[in-house]
Every structure is written in C-alpha cells, then in structure tokens.
Chains A and B, each alone.
Chain A
Amino acid sequence: MIIFDHVTKTYGKKVKALDDVSFEIHNHEFVAFVGKSGAGKSTILKLLIGEEHPTKGSVMLDEVVVSQIHEHQKPALRRRIGSVFQDYRLLPQKTVQENVAFAMEAAGRAQKEVDRDVPRVLDLVEMKDKAKRFPHELSGGEKQRAAIARAIVNRPEILIADEPTGNLDIFHAWDIIKLLLKINALGTTVLLATHDYEVVNALKRRVVTLEEGRITRDEEKGKYILSDK
C-alpha cells in the first residue's frame, strides 16, 4: 500500500509543486494521475522512488518511509518499483536485451534467472525479434516497450509510468496503454501520470486529478475533466 500523508513539495522558495496532498493506493490498483503540465503528477512519482524528498509530510510504501530514505537504501526500493518515462531512458550503449538484463543484474539475480526471464518478458512486450537492436535502431513505440520490459522484469510490486505515451502517436499510445493494463492484470500496481484525456476516459479506472499541486478530484472509474473546459 502507498500512502501520501499531507505531502507538500516546494522547489526553491516560490514554486509549489505539491500542496498538502494526501491519498492511499492499494495493491493491484490501476491509478491515473491527470492534470496539465506542472500540476504535480511527475513530482508524485519522483517522491515515490526517492528521486525527490517532500518538503513537508511523509510518503510510505508498506513499512518503508520513502520520504526519509537513505541513499544506500534507494537501490532496494527501486527494485520494488519499475519506472517508465516519456523519454524512455534506455541505456544507449546497450542492446534491448542487455537493457532488460541490466535491471536483473543490478538486482543481483543469478545468470540462470536472467537467461530465463529476459526472453519471456521481451515476448510479453512483443520485442523478442528486436532483442539485439540498440535503442537508436528502434522506433518510439518500440523503445517504450523495451523500457517497459526493463521496468517489469524484476516483477516489481509497482509500475510507475510518467507520460509513457507523450512522444507517441495515438496508435502506438494505445499499444502501450494496453500493455500497462495487461501488466496490471498480472498483479502489478500501476501508477500512470498523463495529460492525455482520451486515454484516461477510455480506461474507466481510478483517476486522481491535480491542479496547481492540489488534488481536485479522486474517483473510481473516473474521467479526466479539464476545469477550464
């Protein structure tokens, strides 16, 4: 279970990215965080993986107080949470297969497991035939599928996806969303940050709407309703 308890995050003195935000997310949920750019969606995800620390309040993942985590505890936390980003963030000098294997190797998995799981997960994201390609030889959709494969290969409890469809056309965007739903169906909690309201409205899952760092709506089977629309 993820708990955000009265979390405020300010950058510098003026910029308030999150303002007294509280919510809970249960295991196996699929939650979409929506809002305009700068509403605070990405900040929530960054706080969850310990990339940022809250100015006030606390962030918990089960028994771990993420908001007070030490530098050396971060790797262990990040093996419980797979991350996918708008800009893919693949390692450019490694092939698709090596990118996925890297997450397992970093987690200290045995070579036997790596040899068994990497092809499986590449099969799941339909990238088996592109396993030996380098990132610069892939299209945007393919890069994102490789990134998702890397994010889920350690069977994380949670998958966070920060604007994963932001650089993709609508066809490939749906491909990625379907993949996220499939991963959720296999038992992984999915947190999706997006400003793509068509995607959100078609999902019919929990939607948390953010405006200027505050939560304005939080609904099961919600819709993305723009306040100025």
Chain B
Amino acid sequence: MFTAFNRVIKSGFIGFWRSGWLSLATIFMLMLTLFVLAGLGFMVRSADYLLMTLQEKVDVSVYFKPEVEEGRMLRVKEQLLLVNGVKDIEYVSRDEALARFRDQHSQNEVIMQSLEELGENPLEASLNIRAHEAAQFDAIAAFLENKNYENDIDKVSYTQNRDAIQKLAAITRAVRKGGLVVVAVLAAIAILVSFNTIRLAIYAMREEIGVMRLVGASNWFIRGPFFIESILYAVIASALTLGIWWPILQKYSPAFDRILPGLHLFSYFTSNMLLFAGGMVGVAILLSVVSSAIAIGRYLKV
C-alpha cells in the first residue's frame, strides 16, 4: 500500500514535468481564474467600504434655540437614543460649538474680528445623530416632528440634504446588487474556462488512460497521479497569482486611498495573506481536482 502511494506521488510529479506546455497552459488558465476572482474580491471590498463610509457620514444635526436648558436637551438625547436605528448621539453645547468654530476659523481674521464685535456667543447647542442606515432617518424625523419639541428646536439639518443622502444610499445598494450579479457571471466564466482547459488536457491523455486500463491498472492507480498533478497546478497557480497581485496592490493602493481615504487595500491584502492564500489554493484545488476527476471518469470505461 505504501509503495503504491509512493508510486502515485512520484508518477504525479513526473507527469507534471513531462506534460510541459500542457501543465503551463493549465496553470495559466487557473491563474487567470484566480486573478479575476481576487480582483472581484477587491472590488466588492472597495464597494463595501464606500457604502460603510457613506453611512458613517450620514448624520442629522438638531439645533436648539438658545434659551433651552442643557438638562432638557440631554433628556431629548436620552429619548432619541431609544429610537430604532440610532447609532450614537453627540451633544455639543453652545460653548463647545464656539470653541470648535474658533478652532476652525482661527486663520480667518475677518471672522474672528466680527466674532469679537458681536460680544456674545451666536452659536446654538446641537445634537449630532448618527444612524446605522440612511433609510432609518424617517423614524428619527418622525420623532423630532413631535409636538413636544416643536418650541425647543430651531432647525434640523437633515431636511436640507436628506434626499441626497437617501438617493446616494439607494444608488450604492443598487450598485452593490448589480455588482454581485456581474461578479457571479465573471466568476462563472473564469471557472468554466479553466474547467474546459483541464478537460482538454485530460482529453489529450485519453488513450494513455485506456492503455493503463488494458495493462491492468486499477482506477485509483490511474487517477492518483492526475490528482497529484492537479494539486501541483493549484498550488503553483495560487502562488503566482499572489505574486502578481502583491506589486499591483503595493503600487496602486495609495492611488485608491486618495479616492477612498482609509481603504488601505494593500495592508488589507497583506494582513489577510493567509486567508487569500488559503482561499486561492482551496478554489484552485477544487477546480482542478474536480474537473480532472470528471474528465478522467469518461475514459476509464475501457
């Protein structure tokens, strides 16, 4: 049993080496598939990140009239926190708002001067509400339109850009859905192409497989070396694909960061290297082993 196992492995390596161009072609097709799949993965990751940052940016600010007491505003905050879909709320007092304003405009003398001349703090206290999703703003809106607070609230800022925010959210969701369809179609094409390449490689070996049967080889003794070859294809193709993505991401990751700050594709890639390597080897082995197993089966019926 052990000798047979050794023979299968040895003959798998020899077959891999002697198949030459056929091995290269198969590896190349597998690489192409893996490259496309990984690329699609990065795309999905970027789209997700875009959606996430958009949602982070979506917020509603409630400005209170100057005469409203701090305690009353904090009660509103407590109650708002109970509304479904609210992620967090930041309370900015009048003094705090002034301090931030001064900080932001410390370079602008005209503004600073007019502020001095005014003498008193012109800014209002506010609550900055962040929601989990743009769609949940309706619930927050309904809460704020409540008669109880009508006299306290000066203005709610979402009224100006709510439509834009919701449209943007709808678009990103649609893009993501459509993107998944595109991803699925491209992945299916890539997988079919490598499946066919491997089937052709086995087709070229069909007579040999028949001869092996006639010489008295059992099915697993014939399949074994092809199985080993398939694993070699998968491992080499995965290693090469990682080797191609590495410099590409290293070079272009900063460019992507300028469009989507904080995306950091390259560090995402390197810190998840094990996951990528494992995933690629897994997909490639599944592809090559399953395709060759199916293809060989047809020629074992001698």
Contact = CB atoms under 8 A, between A and B. Distances in A.
Interface of A: 49, 51, 71-72, 74-79, 83, 89-93, 102-103, 105-108, 110-111, 150, 154
Contacts of A150: 215
Nearest to A100: B215
Contacts of B119: none
Ranked nearest first, the 10 interchain pairs of A and B with the lowest CB-CB distance are: A106-B217, A78-B216, A79-B216, A75-B218, A89-B211, A93-B18, A103-B215, A75-B216, A105-B7, A91-B208
19 contacts: A72-B218, A75-B213, A75-B216, A76-B216, A89-B214, A90-B211, A91-B208, A92-B208, A93-B18, A93-B208, A103-B215, A103-B216, A105-B7, A106-B212, A106-B217, A106-B218, A107-B216, A110-B3, A150-B215
Nearest to A103: B215
Contacts of B212: 91, 102, 106
A51 B214 contact: yes
Contacts of A79: 216
A105 B221 CA distance: 9
Nearest to B6: A111
B215 A78 contact: yes
Interface of B is mostly: helix
A154 B3 contact: no
B213 A74 contact: yes
B4 interface: yes
Interface of B: 3-4, 7, 15, 18-19, 207-208, 211-219, 221, 301-302
Given A51-B302, A92-B208, A106-B221, A83 B214 contact: yes
Contact of A111 (B3, B207, B216): B3
The listed residue with most B CB atoms (<10 A of its CB), out of A51, A90, A105, is A105
A78 B208 CA distance: 16
A106 B214 CA distance: 11
Given A83-B214, A102-B215, A154-B216, 14 more contacts: A51-B302, A72-B218, A72-B219, A75-B216, A75-B219, A77-B216, A79-B216, A89-B207, A93-B208, A103-B215, A103-B216, A106-B212, A108-B4, A110-B3
Nearest to A93: B18
Nearest to B221: A106
Contacts of A49: 214
Nearest to A79: B216
Contacts of B302: 51
A51 B302 CA distance: 6
A46 to B, nearest CB: 10
Given A51-B302, A106-B221, A108-B4, A93 B15 contact: yes
A91 B217 CA distance: 13
Nearest to A153: B215
Contacts of A71: 301
The listed residue with most A CB atoms (<10 A of its CB), out of B18, B214, B219, is B214
The listed residue with most B CB atoms (<10 A of its CB), out of A49, A77, A89, is A89
Contacts of B19: 93
The listed residue with most B CB atoms (<10 A of its CB), out of A51, A71, A78, A111, is A78
A185 to B, nearest CB: 24
A154 B207 CA distance: 22
A102 B217 contact: yes
The listed residue with most A CB atoms (<10 A of its CB), out of B15, B19, B216, is B216
A178 B207 CA distance: 29
A150 B215 CA distance: 8
B20 to A, nearest CB: 10
A98 to B, nearest CB: 8
A76 B18 CA distance: 29
Nearest to A150: B215
B7 to A, nearest CB: 5
B218 to A, nearest CB: 4
B62 to A, nearest CB: 77
